[in-house]
Amino acid sequence: MLKSRASEAVIAVVDDDLSAREGLSSLIRSAGLQVEVFASAQEFLARPGAEAPSCLVLDLQLPGLSGLDLQKQMAGVGLEIPIVFLTGHGNIPASVQAMKAGAVEFLTKPFDEQELLRAIQEAIARDQRTRQQHAEIRELRDRYESLTAREQEVMQQVISGLLNKQIAAELNITEFTVKIHRGHVMRKMRADSVADLVRMAENLGIRSLKRSDQI
């Protein structure tokens, strides 16, 4: 399953050295993956195409913008591409910095082919997870936005753990109306239970009413 998804994955290689670039390209393609190569960070950033690559194989020492700079910049704009770092001569501070900033792997040239491919697979898996999470959140947000303002209000109360009676009092409506709104909320949000709804709310970043508000 991973394999089939992986084969659709696009791997971006950024390395200023032609030999390295070609070698990496061939190696990655031989593993049945699609690859795009770039000679510098700027070239990569100017890359056309909407879909971001699933993995970035990045040389540490690049002319102009260095690998670590690129990583920092991407993090700055919220671009979550898993990065596999390569370097001619690794130094510990750089590797620590890279790994701290979320790199998948830090390999020293010449690297072991298996190690690189394994790191790439891991990166792809990580990317898949990220994408899936994003998709889920998006779906949830759509559902949430389909709620009316009143329903959103009721939902807020429900996830705060208030009883129907309390909600009714709070919103100054009858308990029966609350029940109807509540039914709508559950249906529209496709929540099986209140616990489910609370989890969704958490994912959406909706905070339950502060305890201090209740008191």
Closest separation between CB of residue 74 and other proteins, Å? 24
Q: Is the separation of the CB atoms in 141 and 204 below 8 Å?
A: yes
Nearest alpha-carbon partner for 116 in 104, 126, 125? 104
Among 113, 136, 139, 196, binds other proteins (CB under 8 A): 113
ω into 110 cis (within 30 of 0)? yes
Q: Which of 64, 88, 102, 161 is the binder for other proteins (CB under 8 A)?
A: 88
Contact indicator for 2, 121 with CB cutoff of 8 Å: yes
Give the interface segment with other proteins, choosing from 14-22, 44-52, 73-81, 152-160 (CB under 8 A). Answer: 14-22
Beta strands in 132-187 (DSSP E): none
| C-beta of residue 70 within 8 angstroms of C-beta of residue 58 | yes
> Binding to other proteins by residue 26, rule CB under 8 A?
yes
**Cα dist from 184 to 117, 148, 155, whole Å:** 49, 10, 10
Cβ 111 to other proteins, closest distance in Å?
Answer: 7
Among 23, 131, 137, 152, binds other proteins (CB under 8 A): 23
Contact call for residue 187 and other proteins (CB under 8 A): no
6 lies in the site for other proteins, by CB under 8 A: no
121/157 with CB nearer other proteins: 121
Residues 6+ apart with CB under 8 A from 93: none
Q: Which is nearer to other proteins, 86 or 168 (CB)?
A: 86
Of 64 and 88, CB closest to other proteins: 88
- Start-to-end C-alpha separation, the chain: 51
- Residues engaged in binding other proteins (CB under 8 A): 17-20, 22-24, 26-31, 86, 88-89, 109-111, 113
